[in-house]
Amino acid sequence: MSETLLEIKGLSKSYPGVKANDNVSFTIQQGEIHALLGENGAGKSTLVKMIYGLVHPDEGDMVLHGKHYMPHKPSEARNLGVGMVFQHFSLFEALNVAENITLGMEHAPPRAELAVRIREVSNAYGLPLDPDRLIGDLSVGERQRVEIVRCLLQNPKLLIMDEPTSVLTPQEVDTLFLTLRKLSSEGVAILYISHKLDEIKTLCDHATVLRHGKVVDTCIPAEETARSMAEMMIGGELSMPTAREFTPGDTLLELNNLSLASLDPFGTSLTNVSLTLRAGEVMGVAGVAGNGQDELLLALSGERTTDSDMIKLKGVSLGGMGPTTRRALGLLAAPEERLGHAAAPDMSLTENAFLSARIRQKLEKSGFTLRNKRDDFTREIIEKFDVRTPGISNAARSLSGGNLQKFVIGREVLQQPTVLVVNQPTWGVDAAAAADIREALRTLAAEGAAVLVISQDLDELMEMSDTFAVLAEGRLSKPRSAVGLNVEEIGLMMGGNLEESANA
Amino acid sequence: MDFSTLNPVALIASLIMAATPILLAAIGELVVEKSGVLNLGVEGMMIIGAIAGFAISVETDSPWLGMLAAVLAGASLALIFGFLTQFLLSNQVATGLALTLFGLGLAALLGQSYSGMKPPSSLRLDIPVLSDLPIVGEMLFRHDFMVYFSLLIVVGVWFFLNRTRAGLVLRAVGENHNAAHSLGYNVVMIRMGAIAFGGACAGLGGAYVSLIRVPQWTEGMTAGAGWIALAIVVFASWKPWRVILGAYLFGGVTILQLNLQALGIGISAAYLSMTPYLITIIVMVIMSADRRRASLNAPASLGQIFHASH
């Protein structure tokens, strides 16, 4: 299979102040799995959006099957055999599987026929789906199947996948890879974007590396190491966190049979979650998204209150207290959603710093803001956590995802919490910034605090946790030492197999 | 007190007349909200429809042209809202409120020379045979054309939303505008279409008040019907057939309190006039008591500003 499928010639695209893509050229062969590598903001998303017709290049040309190719909208791309599975799924929770699939097709067959074809295709590729179920009731892995089946029903020649595995359990990843290899053997080319270099190494035939919108390198992933590919991406040495001895101190946080009903109709209620977090400990909580992570964070931050004794900080029962009181006592939280939850998007960095650190940093006096103190604190965050922003009065929204995340984590860490709870601390953050954030959290624990990290990134958890537990369907497995744990075991625990882990 | 003067047949017939304008406005707003837009300007669009319909009917002596004018006037006012919220990305709540105030003011200005006039009557549609039936005939089949038309619109909207691809796309846009955009649907234009439809229905509802139900022009004559229509959309949990239920329930309470007043019941008329609104509030509270169910039905992108970002 050496026939060229898609040739990209000198694509460029500028946004105000940024050159997102600069003269990008490469080719994709029929039936190959081609990886696109790069840090956040390297221009990968813009590039695939141009191939899919969502964004129009300023310059350059593409050739598909020997013919000029320049889609003006996604429907044209789909007609010509280019499909895309999005990182943030383009699905509608209140609609059912068949309706969602219809919406993404150009020439959708009638309902009954479509239902039959969905079953056929989904079974043929090992991705079984029930056309009548509501998307809101499906797991994240099943939702991804819907996206993939939607593409497959249109007989694609090129399938673009943006970070497909970031939300899957290891077993689901294996299933996905089988499907992708089968597709590839049938001559479908796959353009694969991922931050997980080990996956790229096992799955992809070729890789193109982007940095600052330019193609800086190409390689054959099987011949490289994850480290060498990471260094191609960042264009320098990668600093790895060093291993640390863990000696547990006094008990800081205790959860006793914490139960909390979810308010979200598609959310998961917490059932009897118990754990003990000690000084110096970093506990990792793994689990597939939607298994109660959001609810756990809300219960700990104080946005939802529980029975008083369910949550104890240094022996003080504070389950019934709100976020302000908990912050004053030393229990701090940084939620997953950066814009709108962890930070107010249209408020400045100083205001966002003030809102969170008002009490602990004593940024107010008899109802008035201490402006200098507030500004100094904001500057401290920006300097210590290398937040790249033109100034302290810029709106939170104007920062890139990684920079805002560094700001959010820095803001909480610098308040010297007793216990810090973070949800997805490095979601969508590039390798270098993620390493910085992990290092900061571990340092915080080393200084005597306790950190609870909720994350779906197993590599991250295994790298930074001392103890480890899995949240599945709102229940938490018994925390165990992270030493000697392997990915297979965790995968089984994530599938809801809590008994095994409790005995382990 | 003599309840025997209450004629149930006449009661039902007037109930239907009281409910029709609200039904029209509510079904239009339902489509708008299904597309993810919250237009609080229903009252303004109704009153503009009322005066436009009245004025054109009087000038041309044709109630049909009046109705058409009301549709166009309601839709044009809605398109102003659409332009502000969809292209200039203004806040939907504030813009909708402003639209109501603007509509009320403009209608008062346009209507000054029309107060006290009588519009051409007509538009009755006695359904042959059925209207001759005893009791049922008088209750259900001797109404004006618009009553039947409003019910047809509801059926049409239900069919459109649940059975057609275009309706599915519209619901998808209201459910998750970013996903709809990334699949290549034109979120803004779909919403503009829904907004115009909502305005047209509200305008028609307004004209029904000024041309058929009352029929004359007085300033502020829609008297909060637009707000009730908004409440009924929530009451109906965005389901077309329940809009009929809500509108007729409200119409029923309105007519009942009028009749009770006429009977001279020993309760102040002010309290009786309050009842339809109080009932609406109570029903709304009951409906939204279960947060899980309420949020399950509401279009997930309702009221959010869509900004296409690449």
Q: What is the ipTM of this complex?
A: 0.80
| CATH of B3-297 given 1.10.238, 1.10.1760, 1.10.3470, 1.10.260 | 1.10.3470
CA B245 to chain A, closest CA, distance in angstroms equals 24
Q: Supply the mean pLDDT for chain B.
A: 87
For A36-45, A317-326, B65-74, B162-171, which range has the lowest pLDDT when averaged over its residues? A36-45
Chain B contact for A265, CB < 8 A?
Answer: yes
Measuring CA to CA, how many Å separate B275 from each of B7, B42, B267? Answer: 21, 22, 12
B183 interfaces chain A, CB cutoff of 8 Å: yes
Determine contact, residues A490/A480, Cβ cutoff 8 Å. no
pLDDT at A263: 82
pLDDT band at A499 (very low <50, low <70, confident <90, very high): very low
Residues paired with A276 in a beta bridge = A254
User: Do residue B310 and residue A49 have CB atoms under 8 angstroms apart?
Assistant: yes
pLDDT-above-90 percentage for chain B:
53
pLDDT, residue B277, reads 77
pLDDT bracket for residue B294 (50, 70, 90): low
Give the pLDDT of residue B54. Answer: 95
Q: What is the pLDDT of residue A460?
A: 82
- Distance CA(B285)–CA(A154), nearest Å, equals 46
Cβ(A52)–Cβ(A77) below 8 Å? yes
pLDDT, residue A1, reads 45
The pLDDT-based confidence of A452 (bands split at 50, 70, 90) is: very high
3-state secondary structure A373-389: HHHHHHHHHHHHCCCCC
Asked whether the beta carbons of residue B184 and residue A54 sit closer than 8 angstroms, the reply is: yes
Residue B81 CB partners (closer than 8 Å, separation 6+): B39, B41, B95, B96, B99, B195, B199
Kindly tell me if the per-residue pLDDT of A472 is higher than 90: no
Q: Which residues on A lie below 8 Å from B180 (Cβ)?
A: 90, 92, 103
Report pLDDT for B206.
96
pLDDT of residue B296: 62
Q: What percent of chain A has pLDDT over 70?
A: 93
Tell me: the pLDDT tens digits for A375-397? 999 999 999 988 888 889 888 88
CA atoms within 13 A on the CB side of B78: 33
Cα three-residue angle B29-B35-B40, rounded to 5 degrees: 40
Q: Does B307 touch chain A (CB under 8 A)?
A: no
Query: Stretch B139-154: mean pLDDT, rounded?
Result: 86
Instruction: Report, as an integer, the average pLDDT of A475-497.
Output: 75
- Establish how many alpha carbons lie within 13 A of residue B205's alpha carbon, considering only the half-sphere containing its beta carbon: 37
Domains in chain A (CATH in brackets) are 4-234 (3.40.50.300), 251-503 (3.40.50.300)
Query: Cβ of A90 and B165 within 8 Å?
Result: no
Q: What is the pLDDT of residues A168-197, one digit of tens each?
A: 777 788 888 998 999 999 999 999 988 777
- Supply the pTM of this predicted model: 0.73
When pLDDT is cut at 50, 70 and 90, the band that residue A500 belongs to is very low
- Please give the residue of chain B at the shortest CA–CA distance from A84: B183
Distance, CA of A204 to chain centre = 21
Q: How many helices (H) and strands (E) would you count in chain A?
A: 17, 23
**Among B175, B188, B301, B302, the residue to mutate for chain A (most A Cβ within 10 A):** B175
Q: Where along chain B do its domains lie? A: 3-297
- Residue A418's nearest CA partner among A292, A279, A322, A270 is A279
Q: What is the DSSP string of A124-191?
A: HTT----TTSBGGGS-HHHHHHHHHHHHHTT--SEEEEESTTTTS-HHHHHHHHHHHHHHHHTT-EEE
